[in-house]
Amino acid sequence: MTTTIERPLAPAPPDAGRGRARRRRENLAGYAFMTPWLLGFVFIIGGPVLVSLYLSFTDYAVLGEAEWIGAENYVRMFTSDPRFWAALRVTFIYLLVSVPLVQVFALFLATVLNRGIRGLPAYRAVFYVPSLIGGSVAIAILWRFIFESDGLFNNLLGFVGIETSHSWIGTPSTALSTLIVLNVWQFGAAMIIYLAGLKNVPLELYEAAQIDGAGAWRQFRSITLPMLSPVIFFNVLMNVVAAFQAFNSAYVVSNGSGGPADSTLFYTLYLYQRGFVDFDMGYASALGWVLLIISGAVAALLFTLSRRVVYYGDE
């Protein structure tokens, strides 16, 4: 004899139907609010991005028709375009020098400002202002005037007895440095984030460390850095992405040429030249996709490293 055990049905809440209807209405409202963004994403971003993927396999001069050439743009880029490699080199130098310097400056000043000094809001504002205006064309033009042969920087050097007419932006060996300085000057945004992170480090940790006899450096190394590591990771990631996208400063300072002698040829500037000066839009599209892959790979590398060095507190 077999017995059939019937699984009892879960009792339905008396207002389940009404709840589902309400959720559906809420979902519909949510989608309605999202629709403008979704349409914008699909047609203004998603669509063109997909078209650019197609174009990267074509010879397309904007005027006229796109001709399918397979992977020729990519092959040319890696095998017979010295300016592609020059642009990569300049971009990575800029990234590898300026991103760490921004973190060091920002963290140092955030640590100083976190000591409860008087007039903190004023200092915070003063240091933050360059982040707001530093990426503008106006500041890039100002940078030209500061670092050209008879610019402000050489005049300042003259005041301390160093007479020079060196054109810092006109000489290949120093031109990129001026752009790195411009980027480092914009450390304020990172500093504000570090300051917020420092405020969240429990004071008890420092008190316990002091009782154990830890000095300021030891406290910084063993408490501040680990506790701030998620914030450091965030700032580094954001700055790396921004470094890959750097354009304005090099465009203005070099008159759009990336010169002198390609010394300020950021990757995006080269992409712009190929697309909107040479009108080799197929090649420019290929450059764009290679940039996406490179920046994606670097971001993936950072995330992989973060598993080892970033401390999230609950681990």
List contacts with another protein (CB under 8 A): 45, 47-52, 55, 58, 60-68, 82, 144, 148-149, 165-167, 169-172, 245, 247, 253-257, 259-262, 268, 271-273, 275-279, 281-282, 284-285, 288-289, 291-292
User: Whole-number minimum distance, CB 160 to another protein, in Å?
Assistant: 21
Which residues are CB-contacts of 199 (< 8 A; sequence separation ≥ 6)? 114
- 187 DSSP 8-state letter: T
Looking at the Cβ atoms of 60 and 105, the one nearer to another protein is 60
Smallest separation (angstroms) from another protein to the CB of 206: 44
CB of 50 to another protein, least distance (A): 8
CB of 126 to another protein, least distance (A): 31
What are the CA-CA distances from residue 26 to residues 14, 20, 39, 51, 159 (Å)?
20, 10, 20, 35, 68
CB of 69 to another protein, least distance (A): 9
Q: Toward another protein, which CB reaches closer, 31 or 54?
A: 54
In the block, which residue shows the tokens 């300072």?
253
> CB–CB of 103/232 below 8 Å?
yes
- Which residue is it, tokens 């095998």? 79
| Nearest distance in Å: CB 165, another protein | 7
CB-nearer residue toward another protein: 248 or 306: 248
Chain centroid to CA 287: 18
Of the two residues 177 and 273, which places its CB atom closer to another protein in the complex?
Answer: 273
The radius of gyration of the chain from alpha carbons, rounded to an integer in Å, stands at: 27
Q: Measured from the CB of residue 189, what is the shortest distance to another protein in angstroms?
A: 21
Contacts for 214 with CB less than 8 Å, ≥ 6 apart: 222
Q: Nearest CA to 54 among 35, 38, 28, 73?
A: 73
Alpha carbons 219 and 209: distance in angstroms, whole number:
7
Closest to another protein by CB, 10 or 63:
63
Is the Cβ of residue 239 or residue 306 nearer to another protein in the bound state?
A: 239
Residues 6+ apart with CB under 8 A from 294: 88, 244
User: In the bound complex, what is the minimum distance in angstroms from residue 276's beta carbon to another protein?
Assistant: 5
Q: Which is nearer to another protein, 146 or 231 (CB)?
A: 146
3-state secondary structure of 67: strand
The answer to whether the bond into 260 is cis (omega within 30° of 0) is yes
Range 62-67, long-range pairs (CB < 8 A, 24+ positions): 62/279, 62/281, 63/279, 66/282
Nearer to another protein, 153 or 233 (CB): 153
* Distance, CA of 190 to CA of 128 (rounded, Å): 9
